[in-house]
Amino acid sequence: MGWSERITQALTARRAADGWRQRRRVEHNSVREIVVDGLSYRHFSSNDYLGLSQHPAVIAGWQQGAAASGAGAGASGHVTGYSRYHAQLEEQLADWLGYSRALLFISGFAANQALIHLLAEKPDRVLADKLAHASLLDAASHAPATLRRFAHNQPASLTRLLTTPCAGATLVVTEGVFSMDGDSAPLAALAAETRRTGGWLLVDDAHGIGICGAQGRGSCWQQQVKPELLVVTFGKGFGVSGAAVLCDAATADYLEQFSRHLIYSTAMPPAQCHALLAALQQVQQGDARREKLRANIARFRAGAANLPWQLMPSDSAIQPLIVGENHAAVALSQRLAQAGLWVSAIRPPTVPPGTARLRITLTAAHHSEDIDALLEALYDAADK
């Protein structure tokens, strides 16, 4: 079969399964509101949980950084792309989260790929939560190490895998807050089981950093766990983009010397680092925003209690409403759009077959009337 025929067959099958993904050109996005094709919607699909992408201090930070350093880094951090803003951001992150070192990456996907590709060699094994993010599972499946998956958030399942002898090292991989189910990993139990056998724990806390724990330090801080490897991303609670790996000094040196993802990528723009320094300050001082987010979550969950669809048991900003089949999830998303609400339908392979859902995300920017409008539209759709 040639490339053209293979591509055509794959696209035809994706359309037939109601799994077609479509990018939409957004004309305006203020976290609470989104404008698409000239129409305005209340926005319930943003990961900008604290609304910091619109914060004046963060915007000013980017502008000031661009004025001082230009629009881009111009090279890899191993050449001339590593600025004083990069160094300052790494130092503040490491100090804030209690690690010796922090290393910046252009995205969370790149950070996860870099870690697993570099560390997981042929004699080793990667034991990953079954619902871990695609960036983690993709990296592990392409690494020479053996990949095994334990039942979602089940330390006993991990324990059973750990009892099997391994000639090399063991890396246990999980998320802090899971991106599609919105639930939290039992990090203390996972860490205890991992360390009992001498393994390392990698936690991707993309959806916990900025939201959980004192000053928004994340899931690990909240559960009093310090994994050997912590990945935090800046496209959610920080409202910008990029990521960092937190680790000990020797591991950071190892990454700097041997990580192809780090060595051969143009560095994050210094202006972005400047904006992230401003975002970090807002996260640290953001108790009022986190309290508003918690109140919005509680309001939605209380109001959604009698909906006919399954609302996952999530205390996070991610509130998944399980619809079931792909076409039903798409139809419900479209009905909400007709009511002026933007809520994305998530379908396989992002989530398991039969669990297509609306991934409702709440933010500190939402008002009570926004949540009430969403609930009213959902109940109206249920009646019809």
- CATH number reported for the structural domain that contains residue 347 in this entry: 3.90.1150.10
108 known member of a binding site: yes
State the CATH number of the domain containing residue 265: 3.40.640.10
My answer on whether 188 and 84 are in the same domain is yes
Residue 12 lies inside a defined structural domain of this protein: no
> Total structural domains in the chain?
2
The encoded tokens of residue 29 equal 């996005």
Q: Which of 269, 284, 299 is the last residue of a domain?
A: 284
211 with 85, same domain: the answer is yes
Q: Which domain holds residue 272?
A: 56-284
Q: Is residue 74 annotated as involved in ligand binding?
A: no
Structural domain includes residue 2: no
Element (H, E) at 373: helix 368-383
Catalytic residue list: 47, 133, 175, 179, 204, 207, 236
- Is residue 266 located within the same domain as residue 360? no
Which position has the token pair 């933007």? Answer: 342
Same domain membership, residue 100 and residue 126: yes
Q: Where are the beta strands (DSSP E) in the chain?
A: 26-29, 33-36, 39-43, 101-105, 125-129, 146-150, 170-175, 200-204, 229-233, 243-247, 310-311, 318-324, 341-342, 345-346, 356-361
109 is in an annotated binding site: yes
Q: Do both 101 and 46 map to the same domain? A: no
Per-residue model confidence as pLDDT tens for the chain (384 residues): 899 999 999 999 999 888 888 888 889 899 999 999 999 999 999 999 999 999 999 999 999 999 999 999 999 999 999 999 999 999 999 999 999 999 999 999 999 999 999 999 999 999 999 999 999 999 999 999 999 999 999 999 999 999 999 999 999 999 999 999 999 999 999 999 999 999 999 999 999 999 999 999 999 999 999 999 999 999 999 999 999 999 999 999 999 999 999 999 999 999 999 999 999 999 999 999 999 999 999 999 999 999 999 999 999 999 999 999 999 999 999 999 999 999 999 999 889 999 999 999 999 999 999 999 999 999 999 988
Alpha-carbon span 335 to 378, nearest angstrom: 9
Tell me: do 111 and 257 sit in the same domain.
Answer: yes
Whether residue 241 is found in the same domain as residue 295: no
Whether residue 234 sits in one domain with residue 91: yes
Domain-located, residue 9? no
